């Protein structure tokens, strides 16, 4: 995974994001390269999710720009839509369409947005569902599935668009502990295939296992950046040490 | 007398169903436009929202009986006369459209913002989102809205009896009120009650059936 000079896919360039008067990100830049798994960690409210949302054009920004393979994404829907087809996003609370079956959920965008052949999409959707162990759920509705199953469907829904980048926004945060694994296994298997991903997570063990590069974010700034090994084993900044310590407990 | 009631029932159904249908032809796009252009909608447009909002509020605040009389010239221009069942469809539609627009608006606004965002994140355009996400996901609520609209318009249609609007309300007023034939009035009202019950029952049954979120 370490050929040098890999192509830059998404770049957020000197962006500033404010909600009303609160600045979330100030002059923030980050590039994501082909085949790379970038994991963003950091305390709540540090702007992690906002970065993903900006990469997918879901958040207006006040300054700076987002480029996709060098092409600037402007505010017009046409331009954003083209990029969004190539950037798959998976959300914390699944966001499956409750009135559509699992298969319909997966097929909607490839058929309606990408105008692909229905039969071919269906075939692929079924294959992908089988891959995450949910083939027999194709005619179920989201409410009939567990949280972990719903999240796997959401991943399949994103995959079926053939995205070049996948964004995962705290995808296990709403799950019961025993369901976290089944979802993370799917993401790990995608990483092994060399998919480009940006992951926001609170699962540190998972982050360490999957990340090519870890970004530690605090108050809208990159506080520390490095390989998984560097960041988790030898954190440099005090803030990162403090953050990582909050995940371990000692018996008093 | 049976023939009269049967005709009256038919006239009432004819007025109510056609007016509701026409009401939806106007109200559905109007309600969708309200949802889309509202501040937290998918394509906010303050000016357009405000204009529609005011027009709808004005039409909705005119009491139906007044509206009936107020738009008589308009009715006459369209239908050729201002009384009778077909003529009554005009004021009924005018009264129904803004009511329906409001109900459509509130139904569509129930759709989870996260789901809409997910659709956007997959590159869906406005049209796809409106039809495949907003309307599809709100269908249960929309159908409950249809039931309410039918019920309300059924009530309005009876009011039109005052100006010779035809239908059951007309019979109840002519016989019960002007001729003191309380019996006929009671039977007419009973038929209206039964109609309302059937509408409500069928509407709720259907909306339960298409609700995929319900635990079975």
User: How many domains does chain B contain in total?
Assistant: 1
Q: Could you tell me the two tokens for B82?
A: 């201002």
Judging by DSSP bridges, how do beta strands A196-200 and A213-218 pair with one another? Answer: unpaired
Judging by DSSP bridges, how do beta strands A37-41 and A213-218 pair with one another? Answer: parallel
Where residue B97 sits, what CATH number does that domain have? 1.10.3720.10
Flag whether B189 is in a domain.
yes
Higher pLDDT, A57 or B145: B145
Residue count of chain A, please give it: 252
DSSP classification of residue B131? I
d(CA A102, CA A120): 17
> Do A106 and A160 meet the contact criterion of CB atoms below 8 Å apart?
yes
With 0-12 / 13-18 / 19 or more C-beta atoms within 10 angstroms meaning exposed / middle / buried, residue B122 is: buried
**Residue whose entry in the numeric block shows the structure tokens 């035809």:** B166
> Do A99 and B212 meet the contact criterion of CB atoms below 8 Å apart?
yes
Q: Which residues are A71's β-sheet partners?
A: A68
Reported as a pLDDT band with limits 50, 70 and 90, residue B2 is confident
Judging by DSSP bridges, how do beta strands A87-90 and A165-169 pair with one another? Answer: parallel
DSSP classification of residue A75? S
Mean pLDDT of B3-31: 95
With 0-12 / 13-18 / 19 or more C-beta atoms within 10 angstroms meaning exposed / middle / buried, residue A187 is: buried
DSSP classification of residue B175? I
Flag whether B36 is in a domain.
yes
Flag whether B141 is in a domain.
yes
* Category of B94 on φ-ψ map: left (φ > 0), alpha (ψ -120 to 50) or beta: alpha
Q: Which residue among B125, B126, B132 places its CB closest to the CB of A108?
A: B132
Answer yes or no: is pLDDT of B158 > 70.
Answer: yes
With 0-12 / 13-18 / 19 or more C-beta atoms within 10 angstroms meaning exposed / middle / buried, residue B103 is: buried
Tell me: the pLDDT tens digits for B26-66? 999 999 999 999 999 999 999 999 999 999 999 999 999 99
Burial A77-87 (b: 16+ CB within 10 A, else e): beebbebbbbb
Q: Could you tell me the two tokens for B42?
A: 């998918």
What is the domain extent for residue B66? 2-209
Angle at which helix A118-131 crosses helix A147-159, to 10 degrees, equals 140
Predicted TM-score (pTM) of this structure: 0.88
Q: How many CB pairs under 8 A join A and B?
A: 81
For residue B144, the Cα-to-chain-centroid distance in whole angstroms is: 11
Which residue in chain B has the smallest CA separation from A139?
B212
Which chain A residues touch B107 with a CB distance below 8 Å? none
Which chain A residues touch B125 with a CB distance below 8 Å? 77, 81, 113
**Phi, psi values for residue A147, rounded to 5°:** -55, -45
The verdict on a CB contact (< 8 Å) between B212 and A143 is yes
The overall longest dimension of chain B from CA atoms, in Å, is 66
- pLDDT truncated to tens, each residue of chain A (252 aa)? 444 568 899 999 999 998 888 888 989 999 999 999 999 999 988 889 999 999 998 988 889 999 999 888 876 777 888 889 999 999 999 999 999 999 999 999 999 999 999 999 999 999 999 999 999 999 999 999 999 999 999 999 999 999 999 999 999 998 998 899 999 999 999 999 999 999 999 999 999 999 999 999 998 889 999 999 999 999 999 999 999 998 888 787
Flag whether B109 is in a domain.
yes
**Residue whose entry in the numeric block shows the structure tokens 């988790």:** A232
d(CA B55, CA B53): 6
Flag whether B97 is in a domain.
yes
Flag whether B216 is in a domain.
no
> Is the Cα torsion angle B80, B86, B88, B91 positive or negative in sign?
negative
Question: Would you state the pLDDT for residue B214?
Answer: 66
Question: Would you state the pLDDT for residue A5?
Answer: 64
Alpha helices in A91-197 (DSSP H): 102-112, 118-131, 147-159, 177-192
DSSP classification of residue A94? -
Tell me: the pLDDT tens digits for B168-211? 999 998 998 889 999 998 999 999 999 999 999 999 999 998 88
Question: Would you state the pLDDT for residue A1?
Answer: 45
d(CA A135, CA A127): 8
Answer yes or no: is pLDDT of B215 > 70.
Answer: no
> Do A224 and A46 meet the contact criterion of CB atoms below 8 Å apart?
no
**Residue whose entry in the numeric block shows the structure tokens 């502990």:** A177
d(CA A30, CA A44): 19
> Do A41 and A214 meet the contact criterion of CB atoms below 8 Å apart?
yes
Residue B214 Cα, gap to closest chain A Cα (Å) = 8
Tell me: the pLDDT tens digits for B83-117? 899 999 999 999 999 999 999 999 999 999 999 99
Answer yes or no: is pLDDT of B213 > 90.
Answer: no
Flag whether B100 is in a domain.
yes
Q: Could you tell me the two tokens for B45?
A: 């447009």
The verdict on a CB contact (< 8 Å) between B125 and A96 is no
The verdict on a CB contact (< 8 Å) between B122 and A95 is no
């Amino acid at each position: 995974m370490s050929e040098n000079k890999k192509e830059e896919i998404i770049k957020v360039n000197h962006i500033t994001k404010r909600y009303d008067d609160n600045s979330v990100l100030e002059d923030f830049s980050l590039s994501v390269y082909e085949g790379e798994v970038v994991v963003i960690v950091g305390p709540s409210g540090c702007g992690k999710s906002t970065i993903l949302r900006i990469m997918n054009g879901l958040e207006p920004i006040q300054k700076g720009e987002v480029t996709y393979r060098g092409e600037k994404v402007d505010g017009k829907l046409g331009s954003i839509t083209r990029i969004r087809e190539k950037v798959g996003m998976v959300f914390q609370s699944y966001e499956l369409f409750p009135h559509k079956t699992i298969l319909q959920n997966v097929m909607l965008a490839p058929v309606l947005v990408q105008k692909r052949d229905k039969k071919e999409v269906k075939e692929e959707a079924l294959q992908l569902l089988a891959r995450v162990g949910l083939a027999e759920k194709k005619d179920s509705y989201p409410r009939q599935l567990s949280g972990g199953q719903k999240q796997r469907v959401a991943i399949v829904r994103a995959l079926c668009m053939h995205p070049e980048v996948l964004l995962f926004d705290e995808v296990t945060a709403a799950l019961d502990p025993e369901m976290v694994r089944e979802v993370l296994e799917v993401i790990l298997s995608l990483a092994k295939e060399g998919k480009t991903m940006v992951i926001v997570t609170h699962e540190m063990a998972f982050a360490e296992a999957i990340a090519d590069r870890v970004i530690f974010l605090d108050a809208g700034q990159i506080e520390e950046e490095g390989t998984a090994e560097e960041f988790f084993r030898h954190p440099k900044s005090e803030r990162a040490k403090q953050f990582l310590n909050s995940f371990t407990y000692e018996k008093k | 007398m049976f023939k009269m009631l049967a005709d009256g029932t038919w006239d009432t159904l004819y007025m109510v169903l056609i007016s509701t249908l026409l009401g939806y032809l106007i109200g559905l796009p109007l309600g969708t436009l309200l949802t889309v252009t509202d501040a937290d909608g998918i394509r906010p447009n303050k000016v357009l929202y405000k204009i529609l909002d005011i027009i709808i509020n004005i039409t909705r605040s005119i009491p139906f009986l007044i509206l009936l009389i107020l738009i008589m010239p308009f009715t006459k221009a369209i239908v050729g006369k201002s009384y009778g069942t077909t003529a009554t469809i005009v004021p009924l539609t005018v009264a129904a459209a803004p009511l329906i627009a409001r109900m459509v608006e509130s139904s569509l606004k129930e759709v989870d913002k996260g789901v809409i965002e997910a659709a956007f994140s997959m590159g869906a355009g406005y049209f796809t989102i409106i039809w495949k996400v907003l309307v599809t996901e709100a269908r249960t609520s929309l159908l409950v809205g249809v039931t309410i609209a039918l019920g309300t318009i059924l009530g309005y249609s009876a009011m039109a009896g005052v100006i010779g609007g035809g239908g059951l309300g007309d019979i109840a007023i002519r016989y019960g009120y002007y001729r003191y034939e309380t019996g006929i009035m009671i039977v007419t009202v009973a038929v209206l009650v039964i109609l309302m019950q059937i509408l409500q029952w069928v509407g709720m049954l259907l909306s339960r059936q298409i609700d995929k979120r319900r635990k079975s």
